[in-house]
Amino acid sequence: MKRFLQSALAAATALLACSAALAEITIGASLSLTGPGSGLGIPMSNGLKMWPATVGGEKVRLIILDDATDPTKGVQNARRLINEEKVDVILGSGVTPVAIAMADVAAESKTVQLALSPVGLPPGKDAWTFRMPQSNGVMANAMVAHMVKQGVRSVGFLGYTDAYGEQWLQALTPLLDKAGIKLLAAERFARADTSVTAQALKLVATNADAMVVVASGSGAAMPQLGLIERGFKGKVYQTHAAATRDLMRIGGKSVEGTYVTSGPVVVAEQLPDSHPSKALGVKFNAAYEQIHGAGMRNQFGAHGYDTYLMLDKVIPVALKKGKPGTPEFRAAIKDALESTPALAVTHGVLDYSPTDHWGFRPDTGVVMKVVNGDWKLEP
């Protein structure tokens, strides 16, 4: 009888171990696959689709929904993923206003949100939201430092009317003040606008040394073309949401010489060998371009892949405290994200903590220049 009990106990232990090993992790993403934000959402989806079949040694089920660049749809997707699909983590959106709306659902349900846009939230509202992209402040650091090197003394601002434009202006203004660079005028436009004639005329009239354009994806070229068509001859700076070939495809020769802030992955081959993201970035770019074509690397596809690199580290830790599909497991993922040692990803080094859900260091951003229709890393 004793031998039988020992055998039964051993079998049960083996069964439990097997069950744990075969635990299925469910990840849900809401991305802007259509609408004005599709230039960001589609490459993010491409990056997610490059995940292996397992994350942290466990099988993963990945669900991707289209939020059509609509905050209301993003909220609907988040609720569906959490309430119906029982996801362990939600990803998205790549568009800031949509990601902000999703953050409320994440906090309410106590589900980790890995935001794929630099979403700014009031203190305490980001308890369950972790950002995968660099903050606007990180990118503004790189931009203003470059302006100082270039001798820029005055700038104009042309950005979205939504949260992305507003948060960029808030991040940029104090850095310009500290550097002694005057902000002469700030004009705004909506994502769906097809012209910025009136705004461009006002900005060109200021005779600013440089213009900062805050737009995203394929929509980033239009405002810059509007400035050039109205006679602007100075320097143009674009944000990390414009770090895609859509800028060059639509802008053509008119965007030659444009400066674009970015994560280091876009120019990984030009980084020094000592850079912590160089090897990862070179590997990712080669794999991405093998699938999608030469030169198609971008800021956004890499964010999708970086989520895998991070989850691959934290999921094994979380599994020690909870079972997938349970509140305990979701809480354990949050705890693991806040306590995991600094991790090199394609966009830099992520180092979250209980008080910092941004992760990237202040010097993470780089500045690229459009030269002969390609990206060149600025010194």
Tell me whether the CATH fold assigned to 2-134+296-350 matches the one assigned to 136-262.
yes
Topology adopted by domain 136-262: Rossmann fold (3.40.50)
Q: What is the pTM of this model?
A: 0.87
Q: What is the pLDDT along the chain (379 residues), one digit of tens a residue?
A: 444 334 433 443 443 444 444 579 999 999 999 999 999 999 999 999 999 999 999 999 999 999 999 999 999 999 999 999 999 999 999 999 999 999 999 999 999 999 999 999 998 899 999 999 999 999 999 999 999 999 999 999 999 999 999 999 999 999 999 999 999 999 999 999 999 999 999 999 999 999 999 999 889 999 999 999 999 999 999 999 999 999 999 999 999 999 999 999 999 999 999 999 999 999 999 999 999 999 899 999 999 999 999 999 999 999 999 999 999 999 999 999 999 999 999 999 999 999 999 999 998 999 999 999 999 999 9
Q: How many C-alpha atoms does 20 have within 13 Å on its Cβ side? A: 15
- Give the start-to-end residue ranges of the domains of the chain: 2-134+296-350, 136-262
**Residue whose tokens read 């060109």:** 204
Q: How many C-alpha atoms does 305 have within 13 Å on its Cβ side? A: 24
Under DSSP, is residue 280 helix (H, G, I), strand (E, B) or coil?
A: helix
**Paired tokens of 80:** 């569906």
Q: How many C-alpha atoms does 352 have within 13 Å on its Cβ side? A: 25
State the CATH architecture for 2-134+296-350. Answer: 3-Layer(aba) Sandwich (3.40)
Task: Report residue 81: phi and psi, to 5°.
Answer: -65, -40
